[in-house]
Amino acid sequence: MGNSIRDCLRRSPSSNALTPSSTLKLRLRSGFTLLELLVAVVVFAMILAILLGIISNVSTLTRRAGDRISTFQSARAAFDTMSANLGQATLNTYWDYDNPEAPQRYKRMSELHFLVGQAGTAPFPGTPGTGQAIFFQAPLGFSTTPAIRTMSDLLNSCGYYVEYADTETLPSPFPSPPARYRYRLMQALDSSENLFVYQSPKSADGLSGQTWVSGASAVPIAENVIYLLAWPRKSPTDDPQGTALTGSAEFSYNSRSNADTDPQPATAHQMPPVMQITMVVLDDASAARICLSSTKPADIGNALKDLFASPDEDTFKEDLKTLEGRLAAAHLNYQVFSALIAIRESKME
């Protein structure tokens, strides 16, 4: 037994034992060849490029989404302001003799005025083809005199319309920056000290000489508003098609029109019970792409061509659907705001 153990210890290394040469070869085989390293670097570079592309796309989409949210939030705030102010419109209508010296009958009378007409056509300011301009009086409490600013029921003249113009114009002597053209929703708000509606003549058509209807005090309250539809109508229950007040004419309304005739029309010195307001807004990226000069973008003109010419519910829905299709075909991102606004002071039945 002991001899066997000693014989085993004396044996030379077996043929399976690792020699220094075979150990070196094993170590060399356990590393990477240059070709393998190059392939790994190329694969890593490809994965990195793909990841960077994904990150870039996500960043771009996030930025565009942020721009759209910012633009549409601003438009929503302006739309809410316009709706709230319009809901407070008043005419302060009263009954009086038609002629104090030779009275013949009682009739509705008012020194105030409610007007809706095509933007850019006299006497309305704005850019033609951008929908309607609406002007009215409301107790908005705006004054330039500090001593009376606390009086919340001060009467003001107010108006809304869309204008296409350079947004960065500055008065002299400031240097003019590069032009930046945009569609803008304008708000004209005259202070209580400047109620020129009381000075306007009571012309037969209710429009001549209405100098209070102007954009002299107007400021932009939202950008990229390409269209403003102001539709005077009765409630949908009483007038499902919306044609009772405007008939087949364009969307328009004049509380002084034919107010001196006998009998007076139902609209004489009265406001519509409801105003349907629809506002179409682009995001800033779309507007920046097409609003490049003082000339109105052809894409917008083509999108609005032959639409919203008739105040009829079915026609309106079809026209709005057509407009959305045209804007989408032109790759313009947009949003539509629409609401029926009840005129609380309206007395029309």
List the structure tokens of 346.
């309206």
Q: In terms of Cα–Cα distance, which of 106, 165, 105, 112 is closest to 135?
A: 112
Backbone angles phi, psi at 296, to 5 degrees: -60, 140
C-alpha gyration radius of the chain: 36
pLDDT tens digits for 65-101? 665 666 689 999 999 999 999 999 999 999 998 887 8
pLDDT along the chain (349 residues), means of 10: 50 52 54 81 89 79 64 91 96 89 88 95 95 96 84 90 87 78 96 88 82 91 96 91 78 91 91 96 94 94 94 94 96 95 91
Helices vs strands, H then E, count in the chain: 6, 11
Residue 149 main-chain phi, psi, to 5 deg: -65, -20
Q: For residue 7, is it left (φ>0), alpha (ψ between -120 and 50) or beta? A: alpha
Q: Burial level of 75, CB count in 10 A (0-12/13-18/19+)? A: buried
- Token pair of 196 as six digits: 């020129």
Distance CA 105, CA 114 (A): 24
